[in-house]
Amino acid sequence: MITFSHLIHILKKYKKKHNKFYFITFPVTQTIIALIIADFKLTEPYSAEFEFFIIILCWGIFLLILIFSDFYDLIKKNCLTGIERVKMILIFAAKSTLGIFLFLVFLFLIWPGNFVFIIRNPGWIVSKFITNEEQYKKEVYSDSTYALFYINELELTTKEILKEEELFKKNFTQMTEIEKDKISGLWMRFIDYVSGLRYIQNKYVSYSSIKESLKNNENVESIIIEASCLLAKVKNTYEIVELLNNNKILENYLNYGYVTNIFPRNEYFFLKQELGSILNIYHLKKLFSYFDNGNFSISDNMEMNDLLNYINSNEIYIRELYEGRKFDLYSENFFEQLDKFTNFILSPARKSIMITLTGIEYGPRKNKLISGNEIKNIEKMLSPGDILLRRNKWQVTNIGIPGFWTHSGIYTGSLQKLDEYFAGIESLDGLKFSEYLQQNYKKIYDYYNDNNPSVIESIAPCVSLTALSNIAESDFFAVLRPELSKEDIFKAIIKAYEFYQTPYDYSFDFFTDDGLICSELISKSYYTDDTKRGLNFYYNEYENKPILYPNDIAKKFAVDYGTDKEELDLVVFYDAMDIEESSFINSVEAFIQSSERSKWDF
């Protein structure tokens, strides 16, 4: 049986055998390996648990070696002189201090909500005393009124959200725009009231550190205000977290918004992290302790009495919540933060690999089946706003893209064609399209004059204006025309122009506009909003976020064809017979079937 001393002896030998650099980097390298394994989902459905186990194990071994290897020498070498023994004791004390410090730092990292709590509640560290008594009374009276208003409105908003339980648990990719708008409105109200409470709380948070005299009703109003604000935030946030119950797509929606980016970034994530923060729990308990040894009443301030009643009626609920759900909140927050950290660490490597693979072909044929005169014939059929779909055989990147169709873009045509097509529409207010472009998007106007592009598409490295041949010179090609008014198509093209030179999105994140993939450009350009009618796509799911692949655009046509939901017309479909190395125009039925073809059809 291996005893603790045996374990220390083994670790000591390990430390001597390996150089210091390897020893120091051991937990770091093993952690990175764990993150990579989890990122590729090789241990699903226990990826997060696997990461956690490896990280704890590696850092645990590191700390054991660091602290106890010298302690083993100290207790075994009785022949040491007094000075030598004192020197070893000092070395051991220094290493133990360093090891304990590193361990505490690591524990702090395990619960990243502590960072969130400090960042979003600066008053917890920085005291902000109001020295003028008259100013203090004025502020307290005003803030107690605002605090009560925010709490009541937050409670009402939470109740409305809970009434929509079925909506909030619905698959996000199947939601209508009306349903998304309803969720957006409720969530905006929720975070508005939470932000108001946080602002008031941070004004009074320093008072909870004042002397024991607070228990004798001196400045107790400030404690009531702070405690009620913090309690309301915790209570209502917890109820929302329980409602979503790890509905990750909706959580990401509340963090980023969709298309319009109407929400503060990562707001849901921060609220959830605060909920599981050790410092947050400690602070709540500290506040509650002021009310444990007596009954307080503020007879001349009705709002303050209402706030006190709110604390008394919810204190037990909050205490029981943290007793029953403490570990769950910690672990959920840790794994969520670990997942974000993994994506942050590995995204550069993922991007580098994808850039390397882009454009690589391994087939026997170099020339595309559609080229030259066929592209000229295709262009004669096109109108501004048409959606273009493409597939090339034998491309390495086809392996990583689900479905048969692998790339998409939007046809705009030349400036002359744009002038002719949109002549007289209301949005131009008497201008030609080219004149409107020159006034509002001069950079794009100049590019049209210098290069005469006819397509806007998202390709590496960014959203670009290109020639039709750039996308149409291919093995398979299709054109879909939105059944929308010229006004709506005009607004869709203008929206696409607004994304010009936006970087390619190697994270495939439809919840942000920091980068766009090809089909994301189409999705966001043809998004329905208050100013225009758009297209209703059917989204897939990727890493807990909705995504639209090029093949999904073809599937939309197939699903909607011949129904009252039909929003796209097929202009042309160039199919191919690789054996004969030729392309040909095929039927609507063949195009419908193409969306079901295998991605492995090289």
Q: Can you tell me the distance from the alpha carbon of 258 to that of 179, in angstroms, rounded to the nearest whole number?
A: 13
Number of alpha carbons in the 13 Å side-chain half-sphere of residue 20: 1
Q: Averaged in consecutive runs of 10 residues, what is the pLDDT profile of the chain (602 residues)? A: 49 50 53 56 52 62 60 53 65 66 58 54 49 66 89 95 90 81 90 90 65 50 85 90 82 72 74 76 73 60 84 80 60 64 64 65 70 89 95 76 91 94 92 94 92 91 92 92 95 94 84 85 89 88 84 94 93 80 88 86 56
pLDDT for position 311: 85
Helical packing angle, 177-204 and 248-256, nearest 10°: 70
At residue 387, the pLDDT reads: 97
Class of residue 104 by CB neighbours under 10 A (exposed 0-12, middle 13-18, buried 19+): exposed
Q: What tokens appear for 153 in the block?
A: 């409105």
CA angle 397–403–405, rounded 5-degree value: 75
Angle at 408 between CA 404 and CA 414, to 5 degrees: 145
The pLDDT score that the predictor gives to residue 212 is 42
**Of the candidates 78, 70, 91, the residue with the CA atom closest to the CA atom of residue 11:** 70
Residue found under tokens 């309301």: 232
Backbone angles phi, psi at 516, to 5 degrees: -135, 140
Question: What's the pTM value of the predicted model, to 2 decimals?
Answer: 0.66
Q: What secondary structure does DSSP assign to 242-284, as a single string?
A: HHHSS-HHHHHHHHH-SSS--SPTTHHHHHHHHHT-HHHHHHH
- The DSSP secondary structure of 363-428, one letter per residue, reads SS--S-SS-THHHHHHHHH--TT-EEEEE-TTBGGGGGS-SS--EEEEE---HHHHHHHTTT-GGG
What local confidence, expressed as pLDDT, does residue 572 receive? 94
User: Which pair of tokens denotes residue 203?
Assistant: 């004004």
User: 461: cis peptide before it, omega within 30°?
Assistant: yes
Which amino acid belongs to residue 232? A
> Buried b / exposed e across 27-37, counting CB within 10 Å, b at 16+?
beebbeebbee
Measured CA to CA in angstroms, residue 162 lies from 188, 235, 243, 273, 283 at distances of 15, 13, 7, 21, 28
Rounded CA gap, 548 and 560, in Å? Answer: 16
Residue carrying the six token digits 């597939």: 391
**Which tokens in the block code for residue 54?**
């490896």
Closest CA to 599 of 410, 399, 424, 409: 399
In total, the chain counts a number of residues equal to 602
What's the alpha-carbon Rg for the chain, to the nearest Å? 31
